[in-house]
Structure 1
Amino acid sequence: MHSLHSLSWTSIPTARALLTSSSLLSFPRNPRISRLVRACSDATGVSNSDDATARRNNYAGVRLEERVHVKSGKLRLDSWISSRISGISRARVQSSIRSGLVSVNGRVIDKVSHMVRIGDEVSCTIAELEPLKAEPEDIPLDIVYEDEHVLVVNKPTNMVVHPAPGNATGTLVNGILHHCSLSAAAIPHQEVFSEAEDVSDGELSCFSADYSYQNDFSSGAYEASVRPGIVHRLDKGTSGLLVVAKNEKSHADLSEQFKQHAIKRVYVSLTCGVPSPASGRVDIPIGRDLNNRIRMIAATGPSNCGKARHAASRYKVIEVLAGGGSALVEWRLETGRTHQIRAHAKYLGIPLLGDEVYGGTKSMALSLLQLRTPSNFHGQLVQLVSKLERPCLHALSLGFKHPYTGDKIRFSRLPPADFAEILSGLRAINTEK
């Protein structure tokens, strides 16, 4: 095996102090990363068989036949259907309406703003998603390791892993297609998810019998319906390490390692405030927020969330920053749920710096930091917080068993410059008198 880029621990000088903690660069002894299976919650009027179809095809083919029971006034057709199929996006419903797959009182309706009234009989079939085509693009990639079987990439901040509605170009998959000299690939509807439905910090549920290679990925001969073998992915705003399978055997083996919780990963984050206690385990189920589909909720009891699934994270404070206004925190995942670290951090009352979705807004961060620091630092804090453009979360370490040799290999990459700059600024406030 040949490493294209050796690890450079001093490539980001402002982050060198990360190395002072041996635990920060070590791997968890017993990592547990469970498969995230995308599924919609049961909805009134949706049969069990159709719900199973939704689980396989991301709502494609789901049928709803129900009488409207609106207590007063009128309601838009697209809004009413969205409220009856838990978790589905209104855009997806609107597409089905425009495709002529919805009828009211036996008459096909193709107007999404059609008003329904109490007693109306609505019949709806959710349309299949059209495949997206991923074109090769000459995008600079930080290749940490590569051989004929696997590829390890250090994903930069604000790069989407693969094409989805609203992100058809500029993705990691586009760059990998070019890097491996492959032609365009079509992504089947089972694999098309919007950014709001992105799977983060975990495995992709779409890898199944639908994912097949004609020949090795490296040979360039593969079925048009197959994309590069992204075995897991990170949120758009999260930087760090990802492994990519380059042939069918590698994909199957790495997927099984995820299933058996054998992939070892360590994340680091900067938080608003310091968790108490300084280390611990969060074992709180996570479900999608039904009022905001791009957000997950730590379900501690009855709440406005979809079907909650078991989620467990271990955390440890590496360094207290800015008088306790922030902290450098290490995370080790036992499960791989959507936005797991971000949702659990919010549950602990320490949302990630820069995480606008989960409460780590610039105003919140500035207020907390100024409360914990002398007034002569407040101007400096204003400038520092203004640089927050994404959640301060980085996938620091990745370890797995090579699918062909069986060797245990591991890789690490320090956080990028934006993360390092914020960390350095907070440390300066911590030490200056």
Structure 2
Amino acid sequence: MNEMSPEDTAETLADFTYLVVADEAGTRLDIVITAQLEALSRSRVQALIKAGEVTVNGGKIVEPKYRVNEGDELTLVMPEPEDADPEPEDIPLTVVFEDEHLIVIDKPAGLVVHPGAGNWTGTLVNALLHHCGDSLSGIGGVKRPGIVHRIDKDTTGLLVVAKSDQAHQGLSAQFADHGRTGPLERAYSALVWGAPSGLKGTIEANLARSHHNRQKIAVVKTAGRHAITHWQVKERFGREDEPAMASLMECRLETGRTHQIRVHMSHIGHPLIGDVDYGAGFKTKVNRLEEPLKSVVGNFSRQALHAGLLAFAHPVSGETLRFESDYPNDFKELLETLRKF
């Protein structure tokens, strides 16, 4: 499937009509659209198809399972924004930048981005509704007003949210393009177990929902969604005469899939410290550590991942905006303790 770009395979019109061209036959209609318009969830796309908002070569299709043909032109018309179901909540936000079109947030650990099963309140969306009022873009749908991309609940760091539909349109195009033709950058700091043999590399491995646990993501050999992570070792920790106990790595995303860094790092044998979903096999390693490192690692209750760099072109002015975020306190404590060993 073609990736959406501002100039080529997806054309965003003034009335928020999206044109996508399929280059692979036999793929489901909902999958084709979701892969290219990453600001929309698959369930949201399925609902739009069933509501008659999608045509294939000019003919309305209401079945998400419809199989496309190579060269098919898929048109998605976004309906008028709906009133958001989530209620505004006075949740403190660390605002890094804000204007009439967008807002950049430094998200703390434990804050879910948008409402969903088990998290209908207390989310970033609830906080944004309180902070921004009615100015959030409605393109993301009822549960995701303004949301262009997201980071996991227990990952900290930078996130941009659209306040106007024009901003949503422009930011979505940049994230779908993955920085190939523009200034979009996303870099994460990760503390992982062990260290790769080299200093830098690239992981290219498709990702899909695990057949064993639908809440988790797994690397798959066929199908799935294309995923690429570029990594670089920044520091290694441990005694010089022994293999690295842990390392600080910078991970840069060429694609933005669910749990991508966490799954990719686990795939190459270096899961994130504190990651109970993808690094559970390393839990016993904590018990063999010396104090105080044993206590610091044992009490680190989330994956050690921080979205520290975010850069993009302002979707209205065109100015390149670049933001960096300091490590949160728990990450700093873990890093400083590792450096002592």
TM-score between the two structures when normalised by the length of structure 1 = 0.57
In 1, the alpha carbon distance for the partners of 2:175 and 2:32 equals: 23
Instruction: Tell me which amino acid in the other structure corresponds to 1:258.
Output: F
Q: Does 1:251 align with 2:163?
A: no
Residues 362 and 403 from structure 1, CA distance in 2 versus in 1: closer, same or farther, beyond 3 angstroms?
same
Aligned counterpart in structure 2 of residue 314 of structure 1, from 227, 230, 254 = 230
Is the partner of 2:92 in helix, strand or coil? coil
In 2, the alpha carbon distance for the partners of 1:51 and 1:229 equals: 22
Structure 1 residues 25-48: Cα deviation after superposition (integer angstroms, max 9, x where no partner) = xxxxxxxxxx9xxxxxxxxxxx97
Aligned counterpart in structure 2 of residue 325 of structure 1, from 215, 231, 245 = 245
In 2, the alpha carbon distance for the partners of 1:384 and 1:297 equals: 29
Aligned counterpart in structure 2 of residue 289 of structure 1, from 196, 205, 210 = 210
Is the partner of 1:178 in helix, strand or coil? helix
- The residue number in structure 2 matching 1:70 is none
Q: Which structure has the bigger radius of gyration? A: 1
Is the partner of 2:301 in helix, strand or coil? coil
Residues 275 and 244 from structure 1, CA distance in 2 versus in 1: closer, same or farther, beyond 3 angstroms?
same
Aligned counterpart in structure 1 of residue 133 of structure 2, from 181, 205, 208 = 181
In 1, the alpha carbon distance for the partners of 2:284 and 2:188 equals: 23
- CA drift at 1:238: 0.5
Instruction: Tell me which amino acid in the other structure corresponds to 1:279.
Output: K
- The residue number in structure 1 matching 2:62 is none
- The residue number in structure 2 matching 1:172 is 124
Higher helix share: 1
- CA drift at 1:286: 1.4
- CA drift at 1:237: 0.8
Q: How does 1:145-164 map to 2 (within 5 A)?
A: 145-164=97-116
Q: How does 1:9-408 map to 2 (within 5 A)?
A: 57=44, 133-182=85-134, 211=139, 225=142, 227-262=144-179, 263-299=184-220, 301=221, 307-323=223-239, 324-360=244-280, 363-366=283-286, 370=289, 378-408=290-320
Residues 291 and 61 from structure 1, CA distance in 2 versus in 1: closer, same or farther, beyond 3 angstroms?
farther
- The residue number in structure 2 matching 1:422 is 334
In 2, the alpha carbon distance for the partners of 1:49 and 1:259 equals: 18
If asked which structure has higher relative contact order (CA below 8 Å, sep 6+), I would say 1
- The residue number in structure 2 matching 1:219 is none
- CA drift at 1:61: 11
Is contact 2:262–2:272 with CA below 8 Å preserved after alignment? Answer: yes
Unaligned 5+ runs, structure 1: 1-34, 36-46, 63-84, 86-130, 186-206, 213-223, 371-377
**Root mean square deviation of aligned Cα:** 3.2
- The alignment-based identity, stated in percent, is 42
Is the partner of 1:271 in helix, strand or coil? strand
TM-score between the two structures when normalised by the length of structure 2 = 0.71
Unaligned 5+ runs, structure 2: 1-9, 11-26, 35-41, 50-64, 66-82
- CA drift at 1:335: 1.1
Instruction: Tell me which amino acid in the other structure corresponds to 2:92.
Output: P
Residues 366 and 403 from structure 1, CA distance in 2 versus in 1: closer, same or farther, beyond 3 angstroms?
same
Structure 1 residues 337-365: Cα deviation after superposition (integer angstroms, max 9, x where no partner) = 11110111011100000000002566244
Is the partner of 1:423 in helix, strand or coil? helix
